[in-house]
Amino acid sequence: MISVVVPIYNEEELICQFHEAVANALDSAGGEWEVVYVNDGSVDSSLELLNGLQAADSRVTVVELSRNWGHMGAISAGLETARGRAVILMDGDFQDPPEVLPQLIDAWREGAEVVVAVRRSRQERSKVLAKLFPLFYRVLGALSDYPIPLNAGIFSLMDRKALDSVNAMGEKNRYLPGLRAWVGYQNAIVYYDRHDRLAGDGKLSFISRIKYAMDAITSFSYKPLRLSFALFCFSTCMAALLALSMLIVKSPLTMVGLGVSAAVFFIGGLVLLSVGVLGEYIGRVYDEVRGRPLSIISKVHRSSALMASQTSGYQDEKRHRAA
């Protein structure tokens, strides 16, 4: 079975049309499916509409959250509820086009364990966001310590194995496109054109987008913590240059000025060095607190003879214990 997880917050204008499009796309891909709608504390009639869909079609599941928890909270709840062997994540505003679903499913059937939908082009109503999105991806690409496919949001398919690895990640400040790349497994990419939302306004506030961008960078990069080391090097070099230039100048007043500046840079450098050392420790504490695994096993290839002997050894032991 394939599950489709959709977070919903005040989407009453779109829900019925969206469900019809998703159901048609899934029917055309063939096989069993379910759609898990997560109602993220909507204050319009979204929940009633979703419950109506659920009453009419047993393949619809509605998860009702206790209040509005935000996009990532809704997605996490949906991922935990989905029961499929493969799970697709998409927004409910047609920005992730339902007609791309069969392509994601085909790539999974051909063996991919994570299929990422990457935007070939993007339409946004807001001019500011249209400028900021490419800038964000450029910064993330430059800073990230682990390669994350750029121009990709949540729209993707994950095999049960990959999904279980993502769900097991205990971190609270989640950047799902990053975690999805970080867990590994066999990846494939499907390209699509992202249009503007079909109706209504975007539901994410500018502040929550900034928080999400910060989550992305801080979850996958140590580089900002290491900035003080770079500044320390700069400050120390400046101190050395100023101290050396004291040997050239003749005027005592200039000499004093250079000496004071060199001292300021030198002391500033020492402070930056200590901040950098603290940063290294904080980075490690952050790693320990997040508790990400050291590695994730995808498969163990072992000869069947060895498997049989191990199984019988295990059964012997069980029998022995029972006796």
- Site residues, ligand UDP (CB under 6 A): 7-9, 11, 40, 68, 70-71, 74, 91-93, 95, 197, 202-204
Query: In terms of CB distance, is 201 or 317 closer to Mg ion?
Result: 201
- Does residue 228 interact with Mg ion by CB under 5 A? no
- Minimum Å gap between C-beta 80 and ligand UDP is 15
Using CB under 5 A, which residues numbered 69 to 108 contact Mg ion? 91, 93, 95
Choose between 175 and 232: whose C-beta lies nearer to ligand UDP.
Answer: 175
Q: Residue 259 in 3-state DSSP? A: helix
Q: Which does 204 bind (CB under 5 to 8 A by kind): Mg ion, ligand UDP, none?
A: ligand UDP
CB contact burial 101-137 (16+ within 10 A = b; e otherwise): bbbbbebbeeebbbbbbbbeebebeeeeeeebbeebb
C-beta of residue 98 within 8 angstroms of C-beta of residue 21: yes
Shortest distance in whole angstroms from residue 199 CB to ligand UDP: 11
Residue 7 binds which entry of Mg ion, ligand UDP, none, CB below 5-8 Å type-dependent: ligand UDP
Shortest distance, CB of residue 71 to Mg ion, whole angstroms? Answer: 9
Q: CA 169, 170, 171 angle in degrees (round to 5)? A: 100
- In the three-class reduction of DSSP (H, G, I as helix; E, B as strand; rest coil), residue 63 is classed as strand
Q: Please say whether the beta carbons of 118 and 110 come within 8 A.
A: no
Cβ-based nearer residue to ligand UDP, 91 or 113? 91
Using CB under 5 A as the binding criterion, the count of chain residues that bind Mg ion stands at 4
Q: What residue 215 binds from ligand UDP, Mg ion, none (CB within 5 to 8 A, per partner kind)?
A: none
Shortest spacing between CB 48 and ligand UDP, in angstroms = 16
Site for Mg ion in 129-148 (CB under 5 A): none
DSSP at 100: G
What mask, x for binding Mg ion by CB under 5 A, covers residues 196 to 215? -x------------------
- Give, for 131, the enclosing helix (H) or strand (E): helix 127-143
Between 161 and 194, CB nearer to ligand UDP: 194
* CA 137 to centroid of chain Cα atoms: 13
| d(C-alpha 35, C-alpha 89), whole Å | 10
Q: Which lies closer to Mg ion via its Cβ, residue 46 or residue 95? A: 95
State the minimum distance, in angstroms, from the CB of residue 96 to Mg ion: 8
For residue 36, is it left (φ>0), alpha (ψ between -120 and 50) or beta?
Answer: beta
If the CB atoms of residues 204 and 243 are measured against ligand UDP, the closer one turns out to be 204
CA–CA dist 209, 74 (Å, integer): 15
Listed residue (27, 108, 74) closest to 19, CA to CA: 27
Instruction: Report the nearest approach of ligand UDP to the CB of residue 85 (Å).
Output: 24
Q: Which of ligand UDP, Mg ion, none does residue 228 bind to, with CB < 5 to 8 Å depending on kind?
A: none
How many residues appear in the chain?
323
Nearest of 158, 155, 153, 152 to residue 107 by alpha carbon: 158
Minimum CB separation of residue 185 from Mg ion in Å reads 27
Binding residues (CB under 5 A) for Mg ion: these are 91, 93, 95, 197
